[in-house]
Amino acid sequence: MLKAVVAHSDKGRVVVMDSITKVTAEDKGSHVVSASHGGVSSGEFAMEVPLSSVFFNDAGVGKEGAGKAALEMLDQRGVAAGTVSHETARIGDSQDMWDNGVISHVNRAARDLGLVPGVMLKSALLRMLAID
C-alpha cells in the first residue's frame, strides 16, 4: 500500500496514500491525496490529524452524495477538502489520483484557497506550493 511524499517546498508538502487509514501524526499540516472514497468514515479518519488539505476519490458520488460527504464535515473544521472524479483516477490508487485526477468537488475552505472543480489536482497543489 503506497504512502509517499510526492512534492514539498517551504510552503508545505503533498503526501499520497492509497487509504486515508494510513494518515498519522507525522502528516500534520500536509496536503494529503488519499485514494479512499470521500464518505463519512474517511472524513472521520482525516479529522484525526490537522491537515492543510485532503482529497479523496468521489467514487461516483453515490446515493445522497455519500462519496463526498466528508467535504462538509471537514469544512466545519476549516479543513480544505475535495474529491477527484472516479472517471479520471482509480479508487484505491493514490499514484493514479496524483498523476491523472481532476478535481470534481470542493468544500468552501478549498475554494477559498483557489481549488476548483475541473482542474488537475496535481497542478493545483503544485501551484499552491509554488512548485513549477
| CA terminus-to-terminus distance, the chain | 28
What range defines the domain where residue 27 resides? 3-126
Task: List per-residue pLDDT tens for the chain, 132 residues long.
Answer: 899 999 999 999 999 999 999 999 999 999 999 999 999 999 999 999 999 999 999 999 999 999 999 999 999 999 999 999 999 999 999 999 999 999 999 999 999 999 999 999 999 999 999 886
Number of domains in the chain: 1
Query: What per-residue confidence (pLDDT) applies to 101?
Result: 97
Distances (CA, A) of 73 to 17, 33, 48, 86, 118: 20, 17, 12, 21, 22
Are the C-beta atoms of 41 and 60 separated by less than 8 Å?
no
Distance CA 114, CA 121 (A): 12
**Residues 55 and 25: beta-carbon distance below 8 Å:** no
* Cβ atoms of residues 7 and 128 within 8 Å: no
Q: Within a domain: residue 42?
A: yes
- The predicted pLDDT at position 1 comes to 82
Placement of cell 485514494 in the chain: 35
Assess if residue 132 is contained within a domain.
no
Instruction: Determine the Cα–Cα distance for residues 54 and 70; give it in Å rounded to an integer.
Output: 10
Is 131 inside a domain boundary? no
State residue 131's pLDDT score: 83
pLDDT, residue 3, reads 95
Q: What per-residue confidence (pLDDT) applies to 132?
A: 67
